[in-house]
Amino acid sequence: MTRRYRCPRCAYTRTWVLRRQRRRCSRCRFDWRPGWPLRLTQHQWRRLLRCHVQGLSSQAIALETGLHRKRVVRALMRLRQQVVQAIPPVFQGTVEVDETYVGGAWRNKRRSQRHGGTHRGRGTSKTPVFGILCRGGLVWAQVVPDVAAQTLLPLIRRRVTRGSIVCSDTWTSYTGVAAKGYVHRLVAHGQGQFSDGRGSHINGLEGFWGYLKRRLAAKGGIRRERLPLYLAEYVWRYNHRRLSVDQQVKRLMVLLHNSRSSGG
For the sheet containing 165-169, what is the strand order? 139-143, 127-134, 94-102, 165-169, 183-187
Which band of pLDDT confidence, cut at 50, 70 and 90, is reported for residue 13?
confident
- pLDDT per position as a tens digit, 109-152: 555 544 544 455 555 678 999 999 999 889 999 999 999 999 99
The CB density around residue 240, as the number of other CB atoms within 10 Å, is 16
Average model confidence (pLDDT) for the chain? 85
Closest CA to 132 of 230, 80, 209, 185: 209
Query: CA 164, CA 168: separation in Å to the nearest integer?
Result: 13
Domain ranges within the chain, ordered by starting residue: 1-34, 94-107+117-221
Q: Is the pLDDT of residue 238 over 70?
A: yes
The CATH-assigned architecture of domain 94-107+117-221 is: 2-Layer Sandwich (3.30)
- pLDDT per position as a tens digit, 70-117: 999 999 998 998 899 888 999 999 999 999 999 865 455 555 544 544
Query: CA 117, CA 106: separation in Å to the nearest integer?
Result: 10
Which band of pLDDT confidence, cut at 50, 70 and 90, is reported for residue 264?
very low
Ramachandran bin of 176, using left for φ above 0, alpha for ψ from -120 to 50, beta for the remaining angles: alpha
* Lowest-confidence region among 52-61, 108-117, 210-219: 108-117
For residue 2, the one-letter residue type is T
Name which residue leads in pLDDT, 186 or 21.
186
Closest CA to 58 of 219, 181, 169, 188: 219
